[in-house]
Amino acid sequence: MKNLFKLSSILLVGLFLFQISCSDDPEVEQVPDPSGSWQLTSATLVSPNPLIVANLAAANLPDAPIPAGAATVPIITALVGGALAAVGCTNPANYGGFFLDLTAEKTLVFNCPAESVSDESGTWSILKDTDGKYTIFNLSVNLEGISVPVQITVNDFALSADGKTFTGTASGYPMKNDLAFDLSAAGNAQFITTDMVFTKMP
């Protein structure tokens, strides 16, 4: 009977220690999965302040310097959305239907349904920040007339709990100095930082 009691005590102590050791194990953070089809919902200029783009009237926008901040979100959203859409659409009238696909194979696909365009235009990846959190969304984008892929880094990347939106601050985002010329024209590229919100398509 004493041996049975000792054995039971040893088993209880062992079970207790096992539970303690398991509870001390660090949680393994899951890599966010933003694969799917996305449309730009809004963009807020962070820098430069102000942003100067010539010939904004060509895009039916007020032809004036654009200050950073929330007051000019519609203008910045139109500019950033147009810059994205121009990769896939030839006709500006079709920019509104543009969307991008983030495939499970980590490729970036630009889609312009009105023009039956679906082109693989780069790659994407989710990286860890200095704290070991998956908050860096890296895009490597192929743009016409530019020989090397443009690197766009989205810091503070966050995918919503329901998976329907993602947000982040994009730095190194390419923008024209003058809308009258191609981005690839000599001296016509500048790079901006903007807070962005994307919404998943149904």
Write down the pLDDT at residue 29: 74
Write down the pLDDT at residue 26: 58
73-118 pLDDT per residue, tens: 999 999 999 999 998 999 999 999 999 999 999 999 999 999 999 9
Q: Report the distance separating Cα 43 and Cα 64, nearest Å.
A: 18
Cα separations in angstroms, 189 against 53, 103, 186:
10, 28, 8
The pair of three-digit structure tokens given for residue 193, joined into one six-digit string: 């930082």
Q: Report the distance separating Cα 140 and Cα 154, nearest Å.
A: 11
Band of pLDDT at residue 19, cut at 50, 70 and 90: low
Q: What are phi and psi of 3, to 5 degrees?
A: -65, -40
Domains, the chain, with CATH or none: 34-200 (2.40.128)
150-169 pLDDT per residue, tens: 999 999 999 999 999 999 99
* Helical segments of the chain, H only: 2-23, 73-88
